[in-house]
Structure formats: structure tokens, C-alpha cells
């Protein structure tokens, strides 16, 4: 027992004070002085871009739950795979009919990021023939909580998402109007608006809804439902292909990558993240399976990624995902190599200004991605010093019981302190 205690003490010591970089002991002391971090597990990895200086790190090589920082992996995989994103593929047969099939693109009638160019494309023809994939992706990601099915952040995946695979419920005159339309029934036993777990039946409680309340609830997608919803929306006939004709397929591009990537990074839209991973898999192997994309990207990145990833979905909803702060800094470096700095500034949230970083008003010149699950909050990205020097960092805070707002305060204090020390 005594030997075990000595070994545990040694491991704890190495965990906290080992490593190289700026102010290791000072960093540890600072973290211990931040009350919001008491009883939390904190990982930090920080480097100056365009510099060979040793990193500042604390638990930087330790695996933690990344939450929506996982979207940085999906984003890198997407910009590596696509120079531009195909919204669909289409072909004309000998009878002049327009056929189409999915690429996984998620912005058709999306409630927040609708691709108007794609809608106009569909409206140009009075009749369409849909070629569904041989297999659909699993509706929910591996390791997702089953009881999240009623929430927008856990919308089901499908090969061709429409309306973000969610219905918009607007309450007024004691009734709920659903767009797109589904049957809704008054039910005093539900909280407000709830879908049945295994069907597209929606129940609502008028006592718990206020006038003009707008709620988004996922529906269960299917090929037949997609065809119906699309036909209703464009007022055209949409049918299934009766046979596999010999067709020459042409990709259709809408040039809305900025809109999509802002939805991914600034608003942290989970459905977009899952769709992008499916797009990568389809582009590489012609199949809508996220594990295909993940396996391919992991192999491609193995030469430069310092720590292998435990990676199972595109959004970070799954708690099966594990990654290190050091790995995220490496990913961010790759993003910086792939994109001009002004593009990164456009796509990433800015502290106190845009997206999820509006919740960080006290940080200066930080462009970063948040990641939040219950008991986990992370921030990984870039900051620019007063001298114009750029830093790349990852701060991951796991296993806390305090409100997330307090953890954000702690991260703000830590990064502000680091910016002051490194100026």
C-alpha cells in the first residue's frame, strides 16, 4: 500500500510539473490560484506561430473530452478534401428528365443557413428523379445520449438533409404550426413541444408555450419523407429512380462554403458537422459512413499528429471522443497552413464579437472554437498580440461541477494572464 501511494504521488507530481516551456511552475501556480478551476482537470498547450520556441504546456499530452472542439478535426478534413463543396450531383437522361443524387450537403432549406442557390436550382425543373444511396447513415452518432433525440443539437443524420432534419414549431392562437408540416396534438403531459421517440408525431403543451415561441425539434428522416418534403417545397414532382440508368453525373456547386463553415465554427451547428464528415466519406469511398472518413483522415494525419485521436463523430456530441491539447494545437497549425489568416479571421468566432465567443467579452483578439458538454468546457484557437505576433493554443477543462459560465471566467483569466506574460 505504501509503495502504491509513493507511485501515485510521483505520477501526480510528473503530471503537474513535467514538461518544457515558458513559466511551467508559474503556470501551475496561476492555475491553482484560479478559483473556478478548483477540483477541475486542466490541460494547456500553447505555441507561438512562426517560432521554434518550446511550447508552454501543462497536461498537454493528456487525453480529455473535446466536445465541440472536435469540429476543428471535421473542418480540417473538409478543407483538405474539398476545394469547393458539391451541393449535389445531377444528370439528364435521354428523355430529358433531370436526375440527382446526394453528396451529403446539409443546407437545403436549412432553418439558419439556407442555400438559396440550391433552391433556385431545384425550382428550374418541373420534375426530378432521385437516386437514393444504397445505405443511409445511422441517425444518431456513436456514444450519443438516447434521450437527446428531442433537441435540435441531436438532429438525426441522413444522406440528404432537408430543413436541417428539423421542424420549426411556432406557437400562436393556442396551436403550434410546424414548418415543414407534421401533425401536432395538444398534450398536457409534455414540457412544451416534444416528438415521439420512434415516430414523427409531435405533441405540445399550450400551457407552457408563449405567443410566438419558436422551437426546433428533429424529425426522423427517410428517403420517402425527403422526396415528399422536397416536392412540397418546390412544388414539383419528385420521384424515385426506377432503375440505375447509365448516366453521366455532374457536380453542382453553389459557392456557399463561407456560410456553411461559419455555421460549423461560429454557431457550432452539430448537424452541419455530421454532414461534412459524411460528405468526406462519400467523396473518398462513395458511402455515407462517418467511420470511413475518420479512418481515412487519421491515416493521412498520422505523420504529423503528435497523439492519435479517439474520434467517433463529426460534432463532438459523443463522449467517446478523446484528444489532447497538444493534438489540437497541431490541427490548428495545419489549418493555418491551409488557409490565409484573413480567411481564418472570417470563419472563426472572435472574442466578444461573433458566434460562441460572444461569451468571452474580456478576451482580446482571440479567434477560437469552444467545446462544451456537461462538466467539460474547452477553448482552442489563435490570438494576436499587440505586436501582431500570432499564438496558437488549446485550453481544456474537464470534470468540473461548477457552472460553465464560471469556467469561462477562469479560462478568460488564464488566457489574459498568458497574453500579458508573453507580450
Going from N- to C-terminal start, the domains of the chain cover 18-79+274-422, 87-254
Poorest-confidence range of 92-96, 307-311, 406-410? 92-96
> Which of 1-5, 22-26, 262-266 has the largest mean confidence?
262-266
**Which of 33-47, 160-174, 264-278 is the least confident region?**
160-174
Output DSSP code: residue 149.
Answer: T
Convert 81-107 to b/e letters by CB count within 10 Å (16 or more is b): bbeebbbbbbbeeeeeebbbbbbbbbb
**Contact between residue 45 and residue 394 where contact means Cβ atoms under 8 Å apart:** yes
Which pLDDT belongs to residue 213? 81
Q: How confident is the model at residue 173 (pLDDT cuts 50, 70, 90)?
A: confident
178 vs 155: CA distance, rounded Å: 16
Distances (CA, A) of 386 to 365, 366, 367, 381, 391: 9, 12, 15, 17, 12
Q: Is the dihedral of CA 264, 270, 275, 280 positive or negative?
A: positive
**DSSP per residue, 229-259:** HHHHHHTSEEEE-SS------EEEE---HHH
Report the pLDDT value the prediction gives residue 246, as an integer from 0 to 100: 85
pLDDT in tens, 40-83: 999 999 999 988 889 999 999 999 999 999 999 999 999 999 99
Q: Are 215 and 192 in contact (CB under 8 A)?
A: yes
Q: Between 210 and 157, whose confidence is greater? A: 157
Q: Give the model's pLDDT for residue 244.
A: 67
What percent of the chain has pLDDT above 90? 85
Query: What local confidence, expressed as pLDDT, does residue 388 receive?
Result: 93
Confidence of residue 22 (pLDDT cuts 50, 70, 90): low
> Among residues 173, 202, 168, which one has the least CA distance to residue 187?
202
Rounded to the nearest 5 degrees, what angle is found at the Cα of 43, between the Cα atoms of 304 and 80? 30
Closest C-alpha to 202, from 173, 221, 182? 182
As a whole number of angstroms, the distance between CA 351 and CA 19 comes to 29
Number of Cβ atoms within 10 Å of the Cβ of 384: 17
End-to-end CA distance of the chain: 47
pLDDT given at position 9: 39
The contacts of residue 404 (CB under 8 Å, 6+ apart) are: 372, 377
| Domain range 18-79+274-422, CATH class | alpha beta
Q: How confident is the model at residue 10 (pLDDT cuts 50, 70, 90)?
A: very low
- pLDDT tens-digit series, residues 113-168: 999 999 999 999 999 999 999 989 999 999 999 999 999 999 999 999 999 999 99
pLDDT exceeds cutoff 50 at 4: no
Question: C-alpha grid cell for residue 191?
Answer: 414540457
Please tell me the predicted confidence (pLDDT) of residue 1.
46
Amino acid at each position: 500500500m505504501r509503495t502504491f501511494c509513493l507511485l501515485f504521488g510521483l505520477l501526480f507530481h510528473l503530471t503537474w510539473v513535467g514538461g518544457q516551456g515558458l513559466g511551467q511552475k508559474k503556470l501551475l501556480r496561476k492555475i491553482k490560484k484560479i478559483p473556478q478551476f478548483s477540483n477541475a482537470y486542466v490541460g494547456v498547450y500553447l505555441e507561438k506561430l512562426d517560432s521554434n520556441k518550446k511550447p508552454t504546456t501543462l497536461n498537454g499530452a493528456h487525453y480529455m473530452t473535446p466536445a465541440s472542439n472536435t469540429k476543428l478535426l471535421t473542418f480540417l478534413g473538409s478543407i483538405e478534401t474539398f476545394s469547393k463543396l458539391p451541393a449535389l450531383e445531377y444528370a439528364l437522361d435521354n428523355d430529358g428528365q433531370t436526375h440527382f443524387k446526394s453528396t451529403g450537403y446539409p443546407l437545403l432549406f436549412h432553418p439558419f443557413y439556407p442555400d438559396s442557390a440550391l433552391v433556385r436550382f431545384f425550382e428550374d425543373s418541373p420534375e426530378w428523379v432521385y437516386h437514393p444511396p444504397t445505405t443511409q447513415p445511422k441517425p444518431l452518432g456513436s456514444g450519443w445520449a438516447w434521450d437527446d433525440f428531442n433537441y435540435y443539437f441531436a438532429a438525426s443524420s441522413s444522406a440528404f438533409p432537408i430543413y436541417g432534419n428539423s421542424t420549426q414549431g411556432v406557437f400562436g392562437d393556442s396551436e403550434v404550426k410546424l414548418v415543414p408540416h407534421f401533425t401536432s396534438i395538444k398534450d398536457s403531459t409534455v414540457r412544451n413541444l416534444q416528438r415521439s421517440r420512434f415516430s414523427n408525431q409531435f405533441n405540445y403543451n399550450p400551457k407552457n408555450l408563449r405567443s410566438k415561441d419558436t422551437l426546433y425539434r428533429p424529425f426522423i428522416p427517410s428517403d420517402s419523407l425527403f422526396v415528399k418534403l422536397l416536392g412540397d417545397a418546390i412544388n414539383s414532382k419528385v420521384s424515385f429512380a426506377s432503375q440505375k440508368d447509365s448516366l453521366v453525373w455532374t457536380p453542382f456547386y453553389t459557392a456557399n462554403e463561407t456560410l456553411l463553415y461559419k455555421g460549423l465554427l461560429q454557431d457550432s451547428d452539430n448537424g452541419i458537422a455530421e454532414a461534412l464528415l459524411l460528405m468526406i466519406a462519400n467523396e473518398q469511398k462513395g458511402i455515407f459512413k462517418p467511420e470511413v472518413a475518420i479512418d481515412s483522415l487519421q491515416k493521412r494525419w498520422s505523420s504529423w499528429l503528435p497523439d492519435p485521436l479517439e474520434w467517433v463523430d463529426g460534432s463532438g456530441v459523443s463522449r467517446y471522443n478523446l484528444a489532447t491539447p497538444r493534438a489540437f494545437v497541431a490541427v490548428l497549425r495545419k489549418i493555418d497552413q491551409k488557409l490565409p489568416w484573413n480567411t481564418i479571421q472570417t470563419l472563426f468566432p472572435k472574442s466578444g464579437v461573433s458566434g460562441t465567443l460572444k461569451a468571452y467579452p474580456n478576451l482580446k483578439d482571440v479567434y477560437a472554437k469552444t467545446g462544451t458538454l456537461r462538466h467539460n468546457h474547452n477553448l482552442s484557437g489563435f490570438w494576436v498580440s499587440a505586436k501582431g505576433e500570432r499564438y496558437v493554443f488549446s485550453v481544456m477543462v474537464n470534470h468540473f461541477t461548477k457552472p460553465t459560465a464560471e469556467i469561462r471566467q477562469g479560462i478568460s483569466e488564464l488566457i489574459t494572464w498568458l497574453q500579458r506574460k508573453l507580450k
